[in-house]
Structure 1
Amino acid sequence: MPTATKTGARKRVGLTALSPLTAWLTRPLASFHLLLAVFGLLTVFGLVMVLSASSVDSFNKDGSSYSVFSKQVMYCIAGLVLFYAALRVPVKLMRRYSLILLTICLGLLALVLTPLGTKLNGAQSWFVIAGVSFQPVEFAKVSFALWGAHVLVTKRGLMNQYRHLLVPVVPAALLMFTLVMLQPDLGSTITLFLVLLALLWFAGAPLRLFLMALLGAATAGVTLAMVADYRMARITAFLDPMADPTGNGFQARQALFALADGGLFGRGLGQGWSKWQYLPNVHNDFIFAVIGEELGFVGCAIVLALYGTTAYVGMRIAFRNTDPWIRLVSATLTTFLVGQAVINIGYVVGLLPTTGLPLPLISSGGSSVVTSMLVFGLLANFARHEPEAIAALRSLGPGRVGKLLRLPTPAPYRPPAKRRPARPTPRSRPGAKGSGAAATRRGGGDTRARGARSGPGSRAQTRGGHR
């Protein structure tokens, strides 16, 4: 068989293999269903790994292997409530009250610095109510994305002017950075900075602005590292983990050992050694090391594929929507969620300094899990607002998932009406008859009135009568 014929046959086979997936992705609600599938898989996978990673620590502290796991289940239930609320709330309502949400979050960030806040793990960034702790900064990230997108979309015709592009979004961000660093919490400040960069990037800010922002962030990072010994120790441990293998570099070193011990297929679920006090915070910040140890490279690849799919479907939702606010919020929230996962995995595998950020939907921790579920609920809501999805839902009905969840039919996006510029007052040519001030006073008002009532033709005739 000729080479060209073989190549054509291979292409046809490849297209045939991809055609079912391509056909499914062309469905109106493909983004919505794909996002629900990824959300469910990440939630279940996270619960299984939290149970495996926390069993030893839970038994040593509470006498039960399920204490951390049971708390994680309760947090997931609370997160599912927020997921469902975000899925049902009208988009116009989110945008209208985004400023109120941001103001509440700023108030909580200031309030947590008072004696009402609780200091845990060296940072006063928690509220503890009836034994349940939460971080207000996690919800501040989402509210800042909603409000920042509202401001930038409202000013989208003035984005070429720096004073409209930066004010008031950047001053509000700097205020949040200051409140969070007073706790202090550098990891949350980094994610807030990531939200700000995503807002400006997808709003169309010029590239030189990002170069200045990154330069300023690098300068601020070096300064903050120099004024705090523990931050400098993290940077030193990142640059040379073996310089202090039993001190500052212990966590990074043990995480690499756990990943190396897993190999291709891992030691088996629940069979890892790192959770036996060999790796601190194994069910929080370093749970990816347990995944690599117990499930191997295959388990790590599955996690990366799930977050990669999250990035794809989030950007797909952003690009397929026509509402500019939904487009900007979807892209920003997707960048924030996937960016936090990249940072967490990056410092576990030794590519970034340790920052203490959890792995979304997988690490144990109430605020992180609840906020991640809230973000997925918002993205799912935005997926149902794609023009093709709205047309299908309004013509064919809510579908199985919509009926099961009793979801309302989304309203189509209607762009705001453009204001017509006011018509200028007709002026007579200099030197023409009746062009004096008396003639203008006598006939100007009547001429404009008749022109407005009768249209351009009558206005031309009126002008002829004056002449």
Structure 2
Amino acid sequence: MAARSTSGARGRGTQGIAEALRGVSSALTAWLTRPLASFHLLLAVFGLLTAVGLVMVLSASSVESFSEAGSSYSVFLKHLLHCLFGAVCCYVAMRTPVWMLRRFSHVFLLVCLVLLVLVLTRLGFRSNGAQSWFVLGPVSFQPVEPAKIALALWGAHVLVTKRALLGQYRHLLVPVLPAALLMFALVMLQPDFGSTVTLGIVLLALLWFAGAPLRLFSALVLGAVTGMLTLVFLFQYQINRVTSFFSSDSGGGTDSFQATQARLALADGGLFGEGIGQGWSKWKYLPEADNDFIFAVLGEELGFVGCAAVLLLFGTVAYVGMRIAARNTDPWIKLVAATLTTWVVGQAAINIGYVVGLLPVTGLPLPLISSGGSSVVTTMIVFGLLANFARHEPEAIAALRSLGPGKVGRLLRLPTPAPYRPPATRRPSGTANRRTAPATKPSGKRSRSAGTAGRKQPAPRQRRRTGSSR
């Protein structure tokens, strides 16, 4: 009797959990049907990733900051200033009209190309073997970061403008591919292998979402992999990274030291981690703990649960970005939103992949979590653009124009977006002439007069003279 009552209680408990999960699922589904759900969800993920980044940079950089500057907050304060400046840039990107972003995308691209050329001259600053920065007093700036956004905006503009001709390879690849290859060459002259990889992600995402044929896309991927392998073997430090990745060395060599220490830090974290600030890897055991390998510090101090939460946040970024692209009617917004989302999520996947040992080390930061100036600001601009595009969904525009800006829009003083109007279709040049030309009787000499259909007809007197001469 007791066994039956126990089994009945378990069944009721399981049924209650299932009903609770169904209730949560239905509530979430109902919330996602709201017109501004993409906008609000994107802002929430953006705030959570920024907060996690601030906490982890403070924890991961405290030891190095104290040993070098005498204060545990020096690197954190710089990162905080970069986040504040990036928040301002995010707000500007959120308010900028979409037509302006598209119209001046070619100017933005030209400025970035000029900066990529100038950084290779004496104006550029070399650090860690790469001449990739402009340094103006305490401020450093890496021009390749905004160049990624410029390539996405301008490339989408070209491909959308020529979308009726994309079935032809020359219209699909020119001029997007030559401009991207020029950008790749300038970045590799620095050299910066990691930024070249992200530029390649932007280019491939543009062509993929523009509808490039699979055989062409396969050829481009094969060419990109071949070019990357060629560039890898041109530099000794890249050769060392690749060989250490495929070697069986467990940590004795210097080339595999970072990757091995990162895996050890993740192993020490366990399920729930050792607590914020309690990790040992930042005590000079793990180089670049606050930048390239901050995910290892996060796993050590927050454990598997913290890593899973970060992965869930980036998965939400992928979902919201693709949702924004799918729900918009403007083809340029659709292409830019999908490309920017692929870039951010792809960079996060590469960073986490080489931290856990699935990929060779490339030196890419984890978006919004790693410390850094240009990378943090650029990623925040990307989130601002995505938030801007989220407010241009047709249902969002209808709600904003009928019900008002809402609490968030009123707080941020965001303008009401204008509805998308597709460009007017142009008639063929010969159609208007054929419609306005007077009807003529068919004659046997049609080939002789076919070229004069759109010309001014001769006067009646000339017609009678011509007929009399015949």
Q: Give me the TM-score of the superposition, normalised by structure 2.
A: 0.89
Match of 1:338 in 2: 345
Which amino acid in structure 2 is aligned with residue 138 of structure 1? E
SS at match of 1:173: helix
Distance 2:420 2:38 in 1: 18
* In structure 2, distance between residues paired with 1:142 and 1:223: 26
Deviations 1:259-301 (A, max 9, x none): 0000000011100000000000000000000000000000000
Q: Can you give the 5+ residue segments of structure 2 that lack an aligned partner in the other structure?
A: 1-7, 9-13, 460-470
* RMSD between superposed Cα atoms in Å: 2.3
| Structure 1 segment 362-401 matched on structure 2, within 5 A | 362-401=369-408
Q: Match of 1:352?
A: 359
1:96 equivalenced with 2:109 (yes/no): no
Hey, what's the Cα distance between the residues in 1 that align with 2:49 and 2:352?
A: 15
Between the aligned partners of 1:43 and 1:8, the Cα distance in structure 2 is 38
Matched, 1:297 2:310: no
d(CA) in 2 for partners of 1:334, 1:180: 22
Q: Does 1:239 align with 2:243?
A: no
Counterparts of 1:158-169 in structure 2, within 5 Å, are: 158-169=165-176
- Structure 1 unaligned blocks of 5 or more: 2-6, 448-467
- Specify the alignment match of 1:57 in structure 2: 64
How far off is 1:356 after superposition? 0.3
Secondary structure at 2:233 match in 1:
helix
Give the SS at the match of 1:126: strand
> Cα–Cα, structure 1 residues 216 and 444, in superposed 2: closer, same or farther, change >3 Å?
closer
Q: Is the contact made by 2:394 and 2:419 (CA closer than 8 Å) also made in structure 1?
A: yes
Match of 1:186 among 189, 193, 199: 193
Q: Equivalent residue for 2:233? A: 226
- Are 2:298 and 1:285 aligned? no
Cα distance in 1, alignment partners of residues 351 and 337 from structure 2: 21
Residue pair 2:251, 2:260 contacting (<8 A) in 1 also? no
Corresponding position: 1:429 with 2:429: no
Q: Encode CA deviations 1:50-74: one digit per residue, 9 max, x unaligned.
A: 0000000000000000000000010
Distance in structure 1 (CA, Å) of the matches to 2:415 and 2:458: 53
Alpha-carbon contact 1:284-1:364 (below 8 Å) kept: yes
- 1:435 deviates by 12
Change (3 A) 1:15 1:446: farther
Give CA deviations for 1:246-270 in whole Å, capped at 9, x if unaligned.
3100000000000000000001110
Structure 1 segment 36-47 matched on structure 2, within 5 A: 36-47=43-54
Shift of 1:110: 0.3
Alignment of 1:321 with 2:321, yes or no, is: no
Equivalent residue in structure 1 for 2:216, among 205, 209, 214: 209
Tell me if the contact between 1:237 and 1:243 (Cα under 8 Å) persists in the aligned partners: no
Structure 1 residue 8: deviation in Å? 11
| 2: CA distance, partners of 1:127 / 1:34 | 35
How far did 1:446 drift? 9.6
SS at match of 1:64: coil
The answer to whether residue 30 in structure 2 is matched with residue 23 in structure 1 is yes
1: distance between equivalents of 2:398 and 2:229? 52
Which position in structure 2 is the counterpart of 1:261? 268
Aligned to 1:452: none
In structure 2, the residue corresponding to 1:242 is in which secondary structure? coil
2:63 partner letter: V
Shift of residue 226, structure 1, vs aligned partner = 2.1
Contact 1:83 1:377 in 2 (8 A): yes
- Separation (CA, whole Å) in 2 of partners of 1:357 and 1:162: 32
**Displacement of 1:223 after TM fit?**
1.5
> Which amino acid counterpart does residue 430 of structure 1 have in structure 2?
S
SS at match of 2:201: helix
What TM-score does the superposition give when structure 1 sets the normalisation length? 0.90
Mapped partners of 1:270, 1:397: distance in 2 = 45
**2:463 equivalent in structure 1:** none
- Superposed CA deviations along residues 154-207 of structure 1, whole A, max 9, x for unmatched, are 000001000000000000000000000000000000000000000000000001
CA contact (8 A) 2:160 2:332 kept: yes
Q: Cα gap change, 1:19/1:196 in structure 2, threshold over 3 Å: closer, same or farther?
A: same
* CA distance in 1: counterparts of 2:17 and 2:100, whole angstroms: 51
Letter matched to residue 163 of structure 1 = R
Residue 127 of structure 1 pairs with residue 134 of structure 2: yes
| Residue 59 to residue 241, structure 1, CA distance change in 2 (3 Å) | farther
In structure 2, relative to structure 1, the CA distance for the partners of 1:23 and 1:236 (3 Å cut) is: same
